Chains A and B, each alone.
Chain A
Amino acid sequence: MKEKRRSMKPIDYFIMDCISFTIVSFLLSILSAMEIVQNLNYEILLQLLLCTSVISLVMYIANRILIDSWWKELIIGLVDGTALVLIIGGSVFRWFPWEARYITLVIILFIISYLIAYGVRLIENSIISNQINQKIKDRRK
């Protein structure tokens, strides 16, 4: 491997932010329909957008640090993201009481959202690779 420096641009984090916000909103809508989450309104959604944006910003800053493996990056993203959700959601916006049940639910929701957003980017990358590999084969014919 010749190149190890990361080079994701701010736009990549913005896209990740949009995907995360959409997924979390969708999951919360389902939980709201099931009456597990109550009082879901526009204020909470705006707070949620702020929360996902702060997480993306922190991930962007963390990305400036040289991380040499994908799993370390994944774990660092999960840990700092979970901490931010708990701090912003629990302490600043008071979305949930500090009880084990709610904390667990929030952590699970965050992990699901994070992994789906990560997965979407992997799928996008895989599609690009397949297209290029097909072109390489075509050029050889």
Chain B
Amino acid sequence: MKITIKRQDNCLETLVTVECSTQADTQTEELIHRIQDFCMTLHATIDGHTHKLLLKDIFYMESVDDRTFYYTEESTFESDLKLYQLEEQLADTDFVRISKSVILNINQLESVKPLLNAKLEAHLRNGEKLLINRHYVTAFRAKFGV
């Protein structure tokens, strides 16, 4: 794989172009997948103002009392989308449902710990802990190819 980077003073917007075969190798597909994840955005509100959030900055999404929230390192944003809509929309990304009310970004995962009640505990990079219900463990493992 060759990488070409062109830096120009008059460039207004960064453009990433991947040139590859229609049947690209795994490494290339993963790179495309990563770039897409990196650039994907979602709209959410905080204090009545709408913001465009990069998917990679969201730690997890949670549904509380029929409202959906995005949690980033610093803030909590509210979304108009339902959790099941997000789950469908993010099916090919590094987000995975870990319980009835939570979708987790596995890139923000520090580690997982087994619990005595047959569940897993997700330790996030911001120090938060979330429970991974047994029902969702298979899908969670699949995201890691385990």
Contact = CB atoms under 8 A, between A and B. Distances in A.
A70 B117 CA distance: 5
A60 to B, nearest CB: 13
A25 B140 CA distance: 35
Interface stretch (A3-11, A44-52, A98-106): A3-11
> Which secondary structure characterizes the binding site on chain B?
mixed
B111 to A, nearest CB: 5
Nearest to B62: A2
A8 B111 CA distance: 22
Interface stretch (A89-97, A108-116, A119-127): A119-127
B109 A136 contact: yes
A126 B120 CA distance: 9
B101 A3 contact: yes
Scoring A1, A7, A74 by chain B CB atoms within 10 A of each residue's CB, the highest score goes to: A7
Nearest to A125: B114
A7 B99 CA distance: 9
Contacts of B119: 125
Nearest to B129: A1
B115 interface: yes
Interface string A27-49: 00000000000000000000000
A99 to B, nearest CB: 35
B137 A128 contact: yes
Q: What band does the interface of chain B fall in when counting residues whose beta carbon is under 8 Å from A?
A: 20 to 34
B42 interface: no
Contacts of A1: 129-131
A108 to B, nearest CB: 22
Contact of B113 (A2, A3, A129): A129
B100 interface: yes
A22 B58 CA distance: 46
B112 interface: yes
Given A2-B99, A2-B101, A9 B134 contact: yes
A2 B130 CA distance: 6
B145 A135 contact: yes
Given A71-B116, A125-B114, A133-B112, 11 more contacts: A2-B99, A3-B99, A122-B116, A122-B118, A125-B118, A128-B114, A129-B113, A131-B146, A132-B141, A136-B109, A139-B107
Interface of A: 1-9, 12, 70-71, 73-74, 121-122, 125-126, 128-129, 131-133, 135-136, 139
5 contacts: A3-B131, A4-B131, A70-B115, A73-B117, A135-B146
Interface of B: 62, 99-102, 107, 109-120, 129-131, 133-135, 137, 140-141, 144-146
